Amino acid sequence: MITLYGMYRSRATRNIWALEELGLPYTLKPVIQAYRLEAKGIDPLAPDAPFNTRSPEYLRLTSAGAIPVMEDAGLLLSESLAINLYLAKKAGGTLAPRDAREEALMMQWALYGATAIEGPALEITFAYAKGVDEGGQRVIETSADQLLRPLKALEVHLAAHSHMVGGRFTVADINMAEIVRYAQPHAPLMAQVQRVKSWLELCQSRPAFKKMWATRDGEPA
């Protein structure tokens, strides 16, 4: 049985989405981020603190102290994009790479998303979550400027291809969609990349995403 350690309000969403798409049985073990406890005045290392990213037993799983972590038959993986690529290959089927070429392309897009898009996209999500004051607006504008080039590259790709890899919905779409989602609150940016916007909405129309997102919305912020 696959065990996923994490919370819905974290990068674990991309793994939960993939697991639901793939139909793999799994257990989600809640692990709260230590900073969330500190924000409530709770010491993450207190004996009665909830299981969190600084709990000694969690740090034995990953010294990085971040979520998510996946455990499967003795294998521990602690990077969400790598977890999804592993899950797809484990399950097989249409979400998985059909050959070495598709596998390379899936890795390429995962790395591109992580290095070129995720950082500034997260800044946009955080700024909107905090409420857009003057400082937040500057962060959003700076991040949007940084994202325009990589999102335009994605726009060109999606103008020629219906999906990220192989002309079908795959784990590569899950990985990239969950990265681009962080920039989604900024409508002026998304309006400049209409093919990206349409592709993202198509991905998010899938039942497995909707199921994951509904549960995420019910989890305390």
What percent of the chain has a predicted confidence (pLDDT) above 70? 100
Q: How confident is the model at residue 135 (pLDDT cuts 50, 70, 90)?
A: confident
What integer pLDDT is reported at residue 221 of this predicted model?
Answer: 77
Q: How confident is the model at residue 159 (pLDDT cuts 50, 70, 90)?
A: very high
Which residues have CB under 8 Å from 144's CB, separation 6+? 120, 124, 183, 186, 188, 189
Domains plus CATH for the chain?
A: 2-93 (3.40.30.10), 100-209 (1.20.1050.10)
- 49: Cα separation from own chain's centroid: 26
What integer pLDDT is reported at residue 103 of this predicted model?
Answer: 98
What percent of the chain has a predicted confidence (pLDDT) above 90? 95
The secondary structure of the chain in percent helix, strand, coil, rounded to multiples of 5, reads: 60, 10, 30
Q: What pTM value is reported for the model?
A: 0.96
> Does the pLDDT value for residue 146 go beyond 80?
yes
Is residue 140 within 8 Å of 132, Cβ to Cβ?
Answer: yes
What integer pLDDT is reported at residue 89 of this predicted model?
Answer: 97
**Token pair for 117:** 């898009």
Is residue 70 within 8 Å of 137, Cβ to Cβ?
Answer: no
Cα separation, 167 vs 161, whole angstroms:
6
| pLDDT digits 0-9 by tens, 188-205 | 999 999 999 999 999 999
**Of 33, 6, 41, 2, nearest in space to 20 by CA:** 2
Prior bond to 68 cis, omega within 30?
yes
What integer pLDDT is reported at residue 134 of this predicted model?
Answer: 81
Neighbours of 210 (CB within 10 A): 13
Which residues have CB under 8 Å from 186's CB, separation 6+? 124, 128, 140, 144
Q: How confident is the model at residue 132 (pLDDT cuts 50, 70, 90)?
A: confident
3-state secondary structure at position 36: helix
